[in-house]
Structure 1
């Protein structure tokens, strides 16, 4: 303890508390009321701002959901996406012929066949794995049509499926 503290303690011991006048009750109540009022106003404003932000976020989320529903409706109206194509079997059968063309020297191989070979090898991988997981077919079609992958993954998650399986199907 410092010297000041000891002197203060000694003075307080010598003071008769019954002779000291009481604090003004009206003034004390006014301070407490002011404190409570300002804190309640602050909390009400804070709550109002939070609620407004949540409502704005909810509106944006509803707009995104409506856009996804419209997109799904548009995708379901495309007949090529709703029916399985028998052309996938032809692509798998033509793969050995395409590999034989790759063994030819580049001068002999026509340049128009090279891009076709690349697209056929890419399209055969998803079809092989799609047969094992038919519930992911429409999501793969959404990605092929041009829907952003992250949006499709979000939709896969909302459907209760694993978004990582979609990555495996797409070969990414």
Structure 2
């Protein structure tokens, strides 16, 4: 016979003399635990879902604001003439001139006397520079404007990717695009 000392009750209890807990009472405890746990989890999921809905609304508001900003930027006339200070500093730095096939074309043009030869060499130089630079392409123009107005490049690249354009074009604005669409400046 085993006798335990229970300090909480203050007496010693012989466990062999204590009757077992009734099965219905144990079942009630287990059912209460399961129902309270399920209720807690359902409330937690509901609160998480409400927070996700709030975040989705905020994202939609940001997207709507971005669309409004894009349309405002697109409606600015003579945007080509306005430049940010960073772009002006880039133009002040002299770029090293490339001495490649264009020097040969200029020498050939200077050395010829007949207009027919001159037309052939100009046609050859036009063939070499077929296409439009990425910054002058009508498809990518608005993205370069966004960067010009201070929109972070990462956000612009995400916008380009979402609309199905290659975001790496922003890194190479002078890249020649053979399938480019020439941007026509607004008339003044």
- In the alignment, does 2:58 pair up with 1:53? no
* CA shift in 2, pair 1:116/1:167, >3 Å: closer
Q: Which residue in 2 is equivalent to 1:104?
A: none
Q: Deviations over 1:70-124 (max 9, x none)?
A: 101101211224xxx6x8xxxxxxxxxxxxxxxxxxxxxxxxxx96852786xxx
TM-score normalised by length of structure 2: 0.51
1:24 corresponds to 2:29 = no
Where does residue 103 of structure 1 map in the other structure?
A: none
65, 71, 74: which one pairs with 1:73?
71
- Provide closer, same or farther for how the CA distance between residues 153 and 115 of structure 1 changes in structure 2, counting only shifts above 3 A: closer
Q: Secondary structure at the match of 2:133?
A: helix
1:142 touches 1:152 (CA, 8 Å); kept in 2? Answer: yes
Q: Secondary structure at the match of 2:70?
A: helix
Matches within 5 A, 1:94-109: none
1:129 aligns to what?
134
Among 147, 152, 175, the alignment partner of 1:148 is: 152
Q: Cα gap change, 1:158/1:115 in structure 2, threshold over 3 Å: closer, same or farther? A: closer
Alignment match, 2:163: 159
Distance 1:161 1:150 in 2: 14
Structure-2 residue corresponding to 1:42: 40
| Deviation of the 1:169 alpha carbon | 2.4
Structure 2: state its 5+ residue gaps.
Answer: 1-18, 82-87, 96-131, 176-188
* Higher normalized contact order (CA 8 Å, seq sep 6+, divided by chain length): 2
TM-score (normalised: structure 1):
0.55
CA contact under 8 A between 1:129 and 1:169: conserved in structure 2? yes
C-alpha RMSD of matched pairs (Å): 3.2
